[in-house]
Amino acid sequence: MNRDKISIIILAAGKGSRMKSPTAKVLHTISGKPMLYHIIKSSREISDDITVVISHQKEAVQEQMSSYFNNINFVVQDAQNFPGTGGAMKNISVKNEKVLVLNGDMPLITADALQNFLDNDNEIIMSIFDLQNPDGYGRVIIKDDKVQRIVEQKDASNEELKVTTVNAGVYAFSKTIIDKYIPLLSNDNAQEEYYLTDVISMAKADGLNIAPLLVDEENFKGVNSKKDLADSEEIMQTRIKTKLMNNGVIMQLPSTIYIEEGVTFEGECIVENGCRLTGETLIHNSHVKAGTVIEDSIIKNSDIGPLAHIRPASYIEDTHIGNFVEVKKSSLKGVKAGHLSYIGDAQIDEGTNIGAGVITCNYDGIKKYKTIIGKNVFIGSDSQLIAPVTIEDDVMIAAGTTVAERKIEKGSLAISRTKTRTIKDFYYNFFSKIKQ
């Protein structure tokens, strides 16, 4: 079906009280992006006419989605007077002849899964799946192979609660159905809400055929609680990592690795167990060792970790980063920083070695300052570089030095060290022992 014949409406106005959270439900993240982002992204592959219904925390929802997408229509639900999924549809005027209505809490929905609703010209298509535990979902009452109605859990009789065929929460309607039945919805039910699902029984009463579309839970899972959120995260992570491995990334124990949606890989990369890669990170021909965290950074031809932390806006190329090294907003090219360092707001050039325990002191309690280190510099262990500071090429900093100057000139040695004093037999005298 032609994309300009399709309108998509995403219901994202609900409170989501079962999440027990101050954050709007649709803004909870899966693999680093809000749930609603994932739904809009899949919807975009099918249509350009996308309307998101908002109400609860509407400013936050609109602001976040506008940072990812242009040309989304936002419609505000009058949730006070017209609560519920049917209430959410009350303010909508539909543009195109086929309308897909999606719940905003189904982050796993794919464009392929939505496509199935469009290869079908019934006036009403609803998604169903069978669940061993249908708890929380609306039950679909089917008689003589025909859908009769949807009963919400709170309105269901004991008999109806036993039904395991449930409403998955995606519908395709023709425009005429929406225009006719949404104004007729009432709130005569246990929750005193306007249920979109009542369109089904009204249309049925008018003799219309409701076409059920059997879908799989993996794509249509609704997120109502934090347990659902965690379960959906696992499914999304499996998808992301499977795709990456199919594209050539080596992963050891992938079930222990977390990789966000915006992370990309190039060339031959290895990611060991227990790593977390977030944001818009790019890994190119690199080896990320066990327990490493990399956030919003670029890593090229390098090995990082085990147990390193690369914080946002770092650029690391041809570099070795070892264990317990933290790098923030720094650029390192051709550098070795093997152990226990903090490198923040720094720029470090080729051939430079950062000894164990080196710290860039980039913060004076008010402002952050830069550390610039040139080529072939040797920074001895346990040195502190008090920023702002420039260390020119070919400099040696002796172990244990605190560099408080603004600049160390090319070719020099910087050393700040108190001379070692030795007091003979101090130990034996102090502990009143006799030397053997």
- Can you tell me which of 109, 147, 196, 332 binds ligand UD1, judged by CB under 6 A? 196
- Specify the residue, 37 or 342, whose C-beta has the smaller distance to ligand UD1: 37
Q: Does 83 bind ligand UD1 (CB under 6 A)?
A: yes
Residue 384's binding partner out of Ca ion, ligand UD1, none, with CB under 5 to 8 Å set by partner kind? none
Q: Find the catalytic residue in 38, 56, 309, 339.
A: 339
Q: How is residue 14 annotated by DSSP?
A: -
- Specify the residue, 66 or 255, whose C-beta has the smaller distance to ligand UD1: 66
Q: How is residue 419 annotated by DSSP?
A: P
- The count of other CB atoms within 10 Å of the CB of residue 18 is 16
- Can you tell me which of 32, 34, 87, 212 binds ligand UD1, judged by CB under 6 A? 87
- Specify the residue, 83 or 254, whose C-beta has the smaller distance to ligand UD1: 83
The 10 Å CB-count burial string (b at 16+, else e) for 98-131 is bbbbbbbbbbbbeeebbebbbeeebbbbbbbbee
Beta-bridge mates of residue 126: 171, 212
Which DSSP string do the residues of 103-119 spell out, in sequence order?
A: ETT-TT--HHHHHTTTS
Task: Name the minimum Å distance from CB 9 to ligand UD1.
Answer: 10
Phi, psi of 222 (to 5 degrees): -90, 145
Residue with tokens 């809400």: 193
State the SS3 of 389-418: EEECCCCEECCCCEECCCEECCCCEECCCC
Give the whole-angstrom CA distance, residue 77 versus residue 82: 8
- Can you tell me which of 57, 96, 167, 292 binds ligand UD1, judged by CB under 6 A? 167
Give the whole-angstrom CA distance, residue 244 versus residue 250: 9
Give the type of residue at 265.
F
Binding part of the chain for ligand UD1, among 65-73, 190-198, 208-216, 384-392 by CB under 6 A, reads: 190-198
- Can you tell me which of 138, 212, 274, 355 binds ligand UD1, judged by CB under 6 A? 138
- Specify the residue, 103 or 352, whose C-beta has the smaller distance to Ca ion: 103
Binding part of the chain for Ca ion, among 219-227, 263-271, 334-342, 349-357 by CB under 5 A, reads: 219-227
- Can you tell me which of 8, 12, 72, 94 binds ligand UD1, judged by CB under 6 A? 12
- Specify the residue, 191 or 242, whose C-beta has the smaller distance to ligand UD1: 191
The yes-or-no answer on residue 339 being catalytic is yes
Residues marked active site are found at 339
Q: Which residues bind ligand UD1 (CB under 6 A)?
A: 11-14, 26, 53, 77, 79, 83-85, 87-88, 103-105, 137-138, 150, 152, 166-169, 195-197, 222, 224
